[in-house]
Structure 1
Amino acid sequence: MENSKQDLMRTIQLKLPRLSKGQKLIAEYILKHYDKAAFMTADKLGESIGVSESTVVRFASELGFSGYPKLQKSLQQLIRNKLTTVQRIELSNDYMTQENALRSVLKADMENIKTTLENINYETFDEIVNSLFKAKKIYIIGLRDSSSLAEFLGFYLNFILDNVKVVAYGVSDIFEQLLNVDEQDIVIGIGFPRYTMRTIEALDFAKSKNANIIVITDSLLSPLAEKANYTLIAQSNMTSFVDSLVAPFSVMNALIIAVGLREKEKISSTFSTLENIWEEYKVYK
Structure 2
Amino acid sequence: MQFSTAVRQHFEQLTRAQKALARHIADHSEDAAFATAKQIGEAVGQSDAAVVRFARAIGYDGFPQMRNALREGLLERVGASGMRAATEGLAVGENLKADIFNSDAALLQDTARQNSVALADRVVDRLIAARRIWITGHGTTYPLAVMLSLHLNQILGNSEVLTIGHGDIADRIRHVEADDVLIGIGYARYLPYTIDLMRIARSYGAGIVAITDKPSSPLAEIADDTFIVGRESSTFAWWSQAGTLSLINWLVALAMTRNGAKASAMLRRSDEAWRLLSHWSSADESSGAASLASQLDDRLRSPEGASQPLQANIASPIPSGIAKEQFHEVEQAPRRRAKRQ
TM-score bucket (shorter structure): 0.7 to 0.9
Native 8 Å contact 1:236 1:248 kept in 2 = no
Residue 121 of structure 1 aligns to which amino acid in structure 2? S
Aligned to 1:167: 162
Aligned to 2:7: 9
Alignment of 1:87-98 (within 5 A): 87-93=82-88, 95-97=90-92
- Give 3-state SS (helix, strand or coil) of 1:100's partner: helix
Aligned to 2:179: 184
Aligned to 1:277: 273
- Give 3-state SS (helix, strand or coil) of 1:84's partner: helix
Instruction: Give distance in 1, aligned partners of 2:238 and 2:279.
Output: 32
- Give 3-state SS (helix, strand or coil) of 2:201's partner: helix
Structure 1 window deviating more from structure 2 (38-47 vs 248-257): it is 38-47
Aligned to 2:325: none
Q: 1:27 to 1:194 in 2, by over 3 A?
A: same
Instruction: Give distance in 2, aligned partners of 1:143 and 1:74.
Output: 23
Aligned to 1:68: 63
Instruction: Give distance in 2, aligned partners of 1:199 and 1:66.
Output: 29
Q: 1:72 to 1:153 in 2, by over 3 A?
A: same
Aligned to 1:262: 258
Report sequence identity in percent.
Answer: 30
Native 8 Å contact 1:9 1:31 kept in 2 = no
Aligned to 1:216: 211
Q: 1:241 to 1:102 in 2, by over 3 A?
A: closer
Residue 139 of structure 1 aligns to which amino acid in structure 2? W
Alignment of 1:125-274 (within 5 A): 125-238=120-233, 239-240=235-236, 243-274=239-270
Q: Which has the higher contact order (CA 8 A, sep 6+)?
A: 1
Which blocks of at least 5 consecutive residues in structure 2 are unaligned?
282-341
Native 8 Å contact 1:81 1:195 kept in 2 = no
Q: 1:115 to 1:246 in 2, by over 3 A?
A: same
- Report the count of equivalent residues: 280
Q: 1:176 to 1:44 in 2, by over 3 A?
A: farther
Residue 265 of structure 2 aligns to which amino acid in structure 1? S
Instruction: Give distance in 1, aligned partners of 2:156 and 2:44.
Output: 55
Q: 1:61 to 1:199 in 2, by over 3 A?
A: closer
Instruction: Give distance in 1, aligned partners of 2:170 and 2:236.
Output: 32
Encode CA deviations 1:184-227: one digit per residue, 9 max, x unaligned.
Answer: 22111011233212111111211222221100111112221111
Aligned to 1:102: 97
The CA RMSD measured in Å over matched residues stands at 2.5
Q: 1:80 to 1:222 in 2, by over 3 A?
A: farther
Instruction: Give distance in 2, aligned partners of 1:260 and 1:82.
Output: 43
Q: 1:175 to 1:243 in 2, by over 3 A?
A: farther
- TM-superposed CA distance for 1:271, in Å, is 2.5
**Is it true that 1:37 corresponds to 2:35 in the alignment?**
no
Larger radius of gyration: 2
Which blocks of at least 5 consecutive residues in structure 1 are unaligned?
none
- TM-superposed CA distance for 1:77, in Å, is 5.3
Q: 1:231 to 1:79 in 2, by over 3 A?
A: farther
Q: TM-score scaled to structure 2, two decimals?
A: 0.74
Instruction: Give distance in 2, aligned partners of 1:175 and 1:96.
Output: 46
- TM-superposed CA distance for 1:80, in Å, is 4.7
